[in-house]
Amino acid sequence: MAIRLFSARRLLVSGASLAVPAALGLAAPPASAAAGQLSRVNDTPFPASQTITGATWTTNRYDPPSNQFGDILATSSVSSDSLYVLINDGGTGTQQPARWRNSLAKVTGSPGQLQFTNVGDAGPAKTYADVQSNEDLLGGPLGSYYANGFTAVGGVFYATQVNNYDWNDNAAYQGLVGIAYSTDQGQTWQSPKQPFPGPTGNLNFIQYGTNSGAPDGYVYAIATEREFNANTLILGRARADASDITNPARWQWAATVKTSGDHASTTWTSSISSAKPVLTWNDHITYPRMSYDAGLHRYLLTFTYSYSDSTPGVWKDGSELVILESPTPEGPFSFVASQEYFGPSNGYDPALPVNWMSSQGTDMWMIWAANFSGCSTGLDCSGAYGFNYAQLHLTTAKPGRSTSTLATLQPGRPRRRPRPDHTHVYATAPRELRSRWANDRVELV
């Protein structure tokens, strides 16, 4: 069995500083997820970063623990030794195909030995057959809704409740039912159910640090107009208290942004219809996440895009990881690195938990989900439908102000990387049940 040796650096795992000597060997995951350098070939519309000059996987990919599965893994923490994760379409301590619409878990342990413990009362896990094809009957601590955004600020948890719609079409989001909150670390939740409009369906919070929002007293969040291969990223903010975060009338949205070096001057509006994108890349933005890297004083934006645009290929035909950086959440954004057939091969929702970053800001852990719909024939489908993770090292230039400038976007879509000519073999026709429920089909035959 291959052995991967960690370097003699201090790792942050579950928020706790963990010394890992070079002599310590951990069994490596499959070679298909091997460690190595990410690509610096830049075929994005963004200039190459002059601050972060490279990225390298310093471990192989780890699978989730045996008692966890599910996706859209929004994380936050309330103390240096805690990491909480919201999980959609899965959970902790249940066996597929039984699952919750949403659930919350606490993560402890060390790399390769993470432990997930269910938090709060999610009710009974159910299969798709149990609810007779009515997804509104699927439960969880936040009700029968997906929860794409999660953060902890001032000891209070906040989680979004996404309006359900036809998830098979990759159509425009229909907004939020509301933002729920918990004052007892996820044991119970309050749901004001004040609806948020349109593109807030995947509203997710920028992560700044343990139990905190931004230094200016706001929480910031990003959103795209649809689930896979969206065009634009918008930025919003609210004061960091329950009465403001849960009330859409108290949110502000970036309307105009002027940047100069590392500084941004932003005009904010209370009308989301007047919001202007802080980033545009047509058909290339899937489940973006943003974290503030305090060691590097940079915002790290991670997302994927699918090589196919139509369903079901958008879920099955492969995806690419993209890492961008910026001095402010408004931009300007610069290209850091990318990886083809990330996952492998259909990875999505990549995120960098802030309390899993080193103090220098150059070593961190990325988490992601993969392959909820399986893979097209010929692709490596070893990425797990659950909490995948691997350590990432960023290479930096000499300290100094970034020379990044706003990209001039060209009309149309930039060239996508060529793909192997693999045959499309689908388990279901495009208009049938979305195949994140594939493991339930045996019950429906």
- The tens digit of pLDDT for each residue in 72-130 reads 999 999 987 889 999 999 999 998 899 999 999 999 988 888 999 999 999 999 998 99
Enumerate residues 6+ apart whose C-beta is below 8 A from 96: 69, 90, 439
Model confidence at 33: pLDDT above 90? no
Model confidence at 6: pLDDT above 90? no
Enumerate residues 6+ apart whose C-beta is below 8 A from 238: 218, 219, 244, 245, 247, 250, 251, 252
Distances (CA, A) of 102 to 113, 193, 227, 257, 312: 23, 16, 17, 35, 23
Supply the pLDDT for residue 19: 29
> How many C-beta atoms surround the C-beta of residue 177 within 10 A?
21
Model confidence at 27: pLDDT above 60? no
Whether the bond between 345 and the residue before it is cis, its omega within 30 degrees of 0, is yes
Average pLDDT over residues 293-308: 97
**The model's pTM:** 0.85
Helix (H) or strand (E) holding 291: strand 279-293
Model confidence at 201: pLDDT above 60? yes
| Rounded distance between C-alpha atoms, residue 160 and residue 9, angstroms | 36
Reported as a single tens digit per residue, the pLDDT across 359-415 is 999 999 999 999 999 999 999 999 999 999 999 999 999 643 333 222 222 233 344
| Long-range contacts from 139-144, C-beta under 8 angstroms, 24+ separation | 139/100, 139/101, 140/100, 140/101, 140/102, 140/103, 141/102, 141/103, 141/104, 141/186, 141/188, 141/189, 142/101, 142/102, 142/180, 142/189, 142/191, 143/101, 143/102, 143/177, 143/191, 144/101
Q: What is the DSSP letter of 168?
A: T
Q: By mean pLDDT, which of 11-20, 354-363, 411-420 is the weakest?
A: 11-20
Supply the pLDDT for residue 110: 81
Enumerate residues 6+ apart whose C-beta is below 8 A from 361: 293, 294, 295, 296, 297, 298, 394
Average pLDDT over residues 34-38: 83
Supply the pLDDT for residue 128: 86
Domains of the chain plus CATH, in order, are 35-444 (2.115.10.20)
